[in-house]
């Protein structure tokens, strides 16, 4: 594809995507997934929706790639059981608990991608700062955390998106590089859709066809169900505990794998690392 992957464009050092370009990419991806789920003779569950697998033409036409672990279902079949597959950080909770998998697992992954489109950053990231205080974590909400003897701060954007939705402070979620090129109402629309996509209960997630309708404006926006999003708070707290346990030099020993992205993320001036995945036990919480 002429412009490469969404991952390289969104997190790279090239020109910043304008808001309308992001909306077009989100809509093109939603249309592609809707076609896979309901427009083919067989239902296709992609199982690995992430920015690296969203390819773009010069005109921002979207192509969804990498069907190596996809699953074909008959029109009568709605769920299946399988071993864990996909990329951690985009995996729906049902992957981690051995529950039946449906097309709603792709919806969850799409929601995580949509949050990254809004923020311009990886959903799970570590940022280094020369001076950090603990005042940002006074509520004990997992927004900020510190590894022992280091200046690493955890940023878990899905939790931030939920909290800013509850406070109706949507501009605090938007990519700061947009510099006023988006309104609060426009950000609210995508954040609300994304939060609906990442409901813990698959039955509460919209279909990809309905997501297309909401993005196009033909369907009213759904309201995120906070009771099915509280697991994000547990995830944020678990990330906090992991950093406190590990410290700056022990991250790999307890299974927290870091994909170093210090030079490729233009949003962070070379100081941000992304959490490429975390162990399923850490993500799924108490059984």
Max Cα–Cα distance, the chain, nearest Å = 57
CATH of the domain at 190: 1.10.510
211 — pLDDT class (breaks 50, 70, 90): very high
| Residue with more model confidence, 59 or 204 | 204
Q: Under a CB-based contact definition with an 8 Å cutoff, are residues 285 and 238 in contact?
A: yes
Q: Under a CB-based contact definition with an 8 Å cutoff, are residues 41 and 65 in contact?
A: no
Q: How far, in Å, are 112, 157, 281 from residue 51 at the CA level?
A: 10, 16, 24
pLDDT beyond 50 at 269: no
* In-domain check, residue 203: yes
* In-domain check, residue 211: yes
Domain ranges, residue 253:
87-284
Rounded (5°) CA angle 101-98-41:
15
Alpha-carbon torsion 168, 156, 187, 205, what sign?
negative
* In-domain check, residue 40: no
pLDDT beyond 50 at 24: yes
Residues identified as active-site: 48
Rounded Cα distance, 16 and 8, in Å: 11
Rounded Cα distance, 137 and 243, in Å: 14
Rounded Cα distance, 62 and 42, in Å: 21
User: What's the total number of domains in the chain?
Assistant: 1
pTM of the model: 0.78
Pairing of strands 257-259, 71-73: unpaired
* In-domain check, residue 212: yes
* In-domain check, residue 43: no
* In-domain check, residue 59: no
* In-domain check, residue 41: no
* In-domain check, residue 272: yes
């Amino acid at each position: 594809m002429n412009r490469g992957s969404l991952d390289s464009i969104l997190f790279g050092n090239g020109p910043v995507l304008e808001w309308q370009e992001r909306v077009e990419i989100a809509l093109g991806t939603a249309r592609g997934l809707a076609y896979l789920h309901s427009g083919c003779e067989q239902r296709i569950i992609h199982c690995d929706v992430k920015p690296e697998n969203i390819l773009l033409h010069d005109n921002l036409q979207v192509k969804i790639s990498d069907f190596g672990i996809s699953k074909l279902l008959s029109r009568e079949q709605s769920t299946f059981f399988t071993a864990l597959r996909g990329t951690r950080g985009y995996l729906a909770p049902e992957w981690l608990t051995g529950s039946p998998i449906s097309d709603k697992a792709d919806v969850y992954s799409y929601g995580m991608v949509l949050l990254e489109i809004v923020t311009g950053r990886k959903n799970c990231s570590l940022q280094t700062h020369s001076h950090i205080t603990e005042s940002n974590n006074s509520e004990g909400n997992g927004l900020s955390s510190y590894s022992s003897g280091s200046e690493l701060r955890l940023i878990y954007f899905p939790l931030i998106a939920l909290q800013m939705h509850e406070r109706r402070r949507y501009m605090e979620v938007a990519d700061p590089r947009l510099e006023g090129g988006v309104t609060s109402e426009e950000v609210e629309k995508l954040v609300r859709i994304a939060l609906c996509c990442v409901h813990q209960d698959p039955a509460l997630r919209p279909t990809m066809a309905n997501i297309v309708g909401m993005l196009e404006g033909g369907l009213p926006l759904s309201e995120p169900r906070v009771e099915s999003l509280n697991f994000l708070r547990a995830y944020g707290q678990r990330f906090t505990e992991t950093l406190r346990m590990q410290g700056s030099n022990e991250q790999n020993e307890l299974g927290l794998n870091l994909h170093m992205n210090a030079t490729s993320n233009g949003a962070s001036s070379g100081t941000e690392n992304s959490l490429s995945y975390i162990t399923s036990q850490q993500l799924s919480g108490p059984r």
